[in-house]
Structure 1
Amino acid sequence: MSNPSDLAHPDRAQIALPEVLFALSDPDRLAIARQLADGPLDMASCHATDPNLPKSTKSHLMKVLREAGVIRNEPNGRRRRLTLRREDLDARFPGLLDAVLRDPEQG
């Protein structure tokens, strides 16, 4: 029986390239993925490029990333823990994350 606080995440085999590329095509979602590349964060600590984004917008950004298989959003006590699904994405699409998450300012 699943916990009501558990959100659906696609299995590795279900992660599809068009959905991943769509999820990472938005600058705010890409910024979130870049933050998570350094390691897991509590959802409250993770912020998009605009700190004034409404909570509903931030939730939608997370939902698109989660449903595409880019991140995991799991309960962590009374908070939610976000992690980048690097292992799954690297297995499905080798080199994609490194190419997409690279900071263009860094070259």
Structure 2
Amino acid sequence: MASEILREISASDLLAETLKLKHAGYRMVAISCTYKEVMELTYSFDLNYDLVNLRILTDTKTELPSIGIIYAYSFLYENEIKELFGVNITGISPDYNDSLYKIPVKTPFGIQE
């Protein structure tokens, strides 16, 4: 039976929680980001139609570790979020260093200073 779980975690718990899901057989299906009063990142994982979402509320100064050492294909999501929102994701490999997109503004969806 399909279910959906949303768990709010801290940035420091991201790798441990992601690794638990990987060991349980979950695949990463998406990483999304939006800006409200803070940056809201949601990491989504699936196993047999059961969806687990890990949510992190953060700012652009807090370092968020890349989950690329666990799910290698996360680098595209992470590069996009770093470039478009200005989230401080560290350890991305490969890191496009804000050149994934040709855009005229720095972090168009992030905090405008």
Q: Does the TM-score normalized on the shorter chain lie above 0.5?
A: no
By percentage of residues, which structure has more helix? 1
By percentage of residues, which structure has more strand? 2
TM-score (norm 2): 0.29
TM-score (norm 1): 0.30
